[in-house]
Amino acid sequence: MGPQAEQPKLPIPGVQNLIAIGSGKGGVGKTTVSVNLAIALSQMGHRVGLLDADVYGPNVPLMMGIHETPKAIGERIQPLEKYGVTLMSMGFLNPGDRPLIWRGPMLHSVIQQFLRSVDWGELEYLLIDLPPGTGDVQLSLIQTAPLTGALVVTTPSDVSLEDARKAVNMFGQVRVPVLGLVENMSYLIVPSTGEKLDVFGTGGGKRTAEAMQIPFLGELPLDPQVRVGGDSGSPVAIHGEQDDRAEGFFRIARSVEERAAESRGAKKPTIEIAD
């Protein structure tokens, strides 16, 4: 049997940059990064959307402090909005602790509906918070949507880095540019002493990025206030770039802004002008 034909990647009307945020494993703070990055880009003056594609464990509603149910106009789902970010999540449609028991084809269907049946409007950035791993949801998305690029979130621990490499390789195999690696929970500053503790190791994210020849977008500390902000629906990025807790997210947002522009430019054909 010959190789399977590649599915057409149809653009999302009105969306300029489609960026996936993934990780090889859970527990690395990927949704925390996604939420604060979306808010940072919005505060930088961009029109931003955030799609929570983790259909089994959607955390964006909690972290954004929004629990309404989207309405529909005709066949178009109207997304919700908070902190200047347009939002859609399975958590809006399946609230509470009731689990979803779905197989691959159903996951493919819901992801396509979230991409193409939601009235996203005109967006400069649509961030997609992927579930951890390299399974059906990730493949359904990256095989049918024209991603500008992807971010991979890891911690410095060897276990997390091993799985992060798998995520990087997955994106590489389907020809999605990796815009960079983000190392979350890099260190803890002890409040009483100011001492820096490397809880999960040190330097692993940067070494991994260099070895895999992808950009390293920086370290984010393990900060209790970031956790409190997410649990209370008030992410630290809402306090602006001058806030010490938010500064790292804005720094990464500026790197994403720059690398997304480079990725778009690389995909455009060169036009030669005759003399």
Average pLDDT of the chain, as a whole number: 85
Rounded Cα gap, residues 242 and 46, in angstroms: 18
- Give mean pLDDT, residues 192-212: 84
Q: State the pLDDT confidence band at 95, using cuts at 50, 70 and 90.
A: low
Give tens-digit pLDDT for 163-174: 999 999 989 888
pLDDT value, residue 102:
47
- Give mean pLDDT, residues 196-213: 86
Q: Is the pLDDT of residue 238 over 90?
A: yes
| DSSP code string of the chain | --PPPPPP----TTEEEEEEEE-SSSSS-HHHHHHHHHHHHHHTT--EEEEE--SSS--HHHHHT-----EEETTEEE-EEETTEEEEEHHHHS-TTPPP---HHHHHHHHHHHHHSB---SEEEEEEEPPSSSSHHHHHHHHHS--SEEEEEE-SSHHHHHHHHHHHHHHHHTT--EEEEEE-S--EE-TTT--EE-TT-SSHHHHHHHHHT--EEEE----HHHHHHHHTT--GGGG-TTSTTTHHHHHHHHHHHHHHHHHHHHHSPP-PPP-
Positive/negative CA dihedral, 4, 135, 81, 185: negative
Backbone dihedral angles phi then psi of residue 130, each to the nearest 5 degrees:
-80, 155
251, two tokens: 């720094």
Q: Is the pLDDT of residue 99 over 60?
A: no
pLDDT value, residue 266:
65
58, two tokens: 């959607």
Q: Is the pLDDT of residue 104 over 90?
A: no
Set out the domains of the chain in order of their start, with CATH numbers.
Answer: 15-267 (3.40.50.300)
pLDDT value, residue 2:
42
Rounded Cα gap, residues 186 and 142, in angstroms: 28
pLDDT value, residue 134:
66
In the beta sheet, which residues pair with residue 51? Answer: 88, 128
Q: Cβ of 74: how many Cβ atoms within 10 Å?
A: 6
pLDDT value, residue 253:
97
pLDDT value, residue 53:
87
Higher-pLDDT residue of 184, 109: 184
In the beta sheet, which residues pair with residue 197? Answer: 188
Ranking 75-79, 122-126, 191-195 by mean pLDDT, the lowest is 191-195
Is residue 250 within 8 Å of 244, Cβ to Cβ?
Answer: no
Q: What percent of the chain has pLDDT over 90?
A: 52
pLDDT value, residue 249:
97
Short-list 212, 244, 207, 252, CA closest to 29: 252
Give tens-digit pLDDT for 42-83: 999 999 999 998 877 789 999 999 988 889 898 898 999 999
